[in-house]
Amino acid sequence: MENYLALRMAHSVPAVLLLLGVLVHILIVWRAKGKEPAVLAQKLHRTRVISLPVFAVLTLSLGMTGWWMTHAAGWPLNQKWLMISIALLPLIFIFGGFLYSNLSRWQLLLASQKNASGRDQGLALLWAVFVLVLLLAISALMGAKPL
C-alpha cells in the first residue's frame, strides 16, 4: 500500500471514530438520564475516565497525521481550509474540558444522592454538541481540501 494512502486512512479513521464516539456517548447519557441515578453515575464515570481521554488522543492524532499528510502531499501550510481547521482543533480541547468538568460535577451530585439541575444537564449537552459541531466542521474542511 502506498504510504500516502495509508496516511490518509490513518487520518480518516480517527476522525470517523471521534464523530461516531461523541454522537454515541451523547445518546448513551441521554438514554441513561431516565434510569436510576446509579446507572447514570456509572455511565458518566466511564465517559469521563475512559472515553474522553481516548477522544483527546484521537484528536491529537488528527493534528499530527494532518500535518504529516500535508507535508507528504507538498501542500503549503497557509491554505485557508488548513488554517481554519488548525484553528478549530484547540477549541475542541477547550469545550472538551468544559464537558469533562460538567460531567464531573454531575457525577458528584449523583454520588451524593442529589439530582443535577436542568442547567447542569443542559450545559453538558451544550458542550457535547459544540464538540460534535467542531468535529463536523473540521471533517467538512478536510473533505473540501484538494485531493
For residue range 75-129, what is the model confidence (pLDDT) as tens digits?
877 778 888 888 899 999 999 999 999 988 888 888 887 877 778 888 888 999 9
Q: How confident is the model at residue 1 (pLDDT cuts 50, 70, 90)?
A: low
The model's pTM is 0.83
Three-state secondary structure string covering the chain: CCHHHHHHHHHHHHHHHHHHHHHHHHHHHHHHCCCCHHHHHHHHHHHHHHHHHHHHHHHHHHHHHHHHHHHHHCCCCCCHHHHHHHHHHHHHHHHHHHHHHHHHHHHHHHHCCCCCCHHHHHHHHHHHHHHHHHHHHHHHHHHCCCC
Domain-wise residue ranges, the chain: 3-143
